[in-house]
Amino acid sequence: MIDFSTLFSPENLETARITLGSALTLAGAVFSAAGSIGVIRFPDFYTRMHAASVTDTLGASLVLIGLMLIGGWSLVTFKLLCIWVFFMFTSPTSSNAAANGALRAGLEPFLGKWTGQKVTVKGQEALKVQEEKE
């Protein structure tokens, strides 16, 4: 039988809070690193901007939420919450402004040629029929 009085003891909850906060902080760092790899690998400004802005927003959010959990209820947590709210408004807005500015300045997006098979409505119906036969 599980003894809930010891399971939800302050020591266990403190350990769980710090562990979850550390995991979120580490996950945020991984997302930010993945975004930096995307910036290197993608072909043009717009896809790089998209990769950087999405992973930056998610990565920073996870790091800040993790730090809030590690910090506990304090003035530091309130300050981190204010930073997170500010970041959630400014990061997507600045990415949009940079992409819009690049487009107005004449930077054309990279539009490569599609080398895959083009599937039409009839092609999709044929694929469904083929899947039903299998």
Which tens digit of pLDDT belongs to each residue from 64-75? 999 999 988 899
Other C-beta atoms within 10 Å of 27: how many? 16
Distances 105 to 42, 49, 108, 109 between C-alpha atoms, Å:
21, 16, 9, 12
70 occurs within a structural domain = yes
125 occurs within a structural domain = no
What's the pLDDT at 94?
92
122 occurs within a structural domain = no
| pLDDT reading at 126 higher than 70 | no
Average predicted confidence (pLDDT) for the chain: 84
131 occurs within a structural domain = no
What's the pLDDT at 37?
87
Give tens-digit pLDDT for 56-105: 899 999 999 999 999 888 999 999 999 999 999 999 899 999 999 998 99
Rounded percentage of the chain residues whose pLDDT exceeds 70 = 78
Residue 64's domain comprises 4-109
DSSP 70-94: HH-SSHHHHHHHHHHHHHHHHHHHH
37 occurs within a structural domain = yes
Domain count, the chain: 1
Q: Are 56 and 101 in contact (CB under 8 A)?
A: no
128 occurs within a structural domain = no
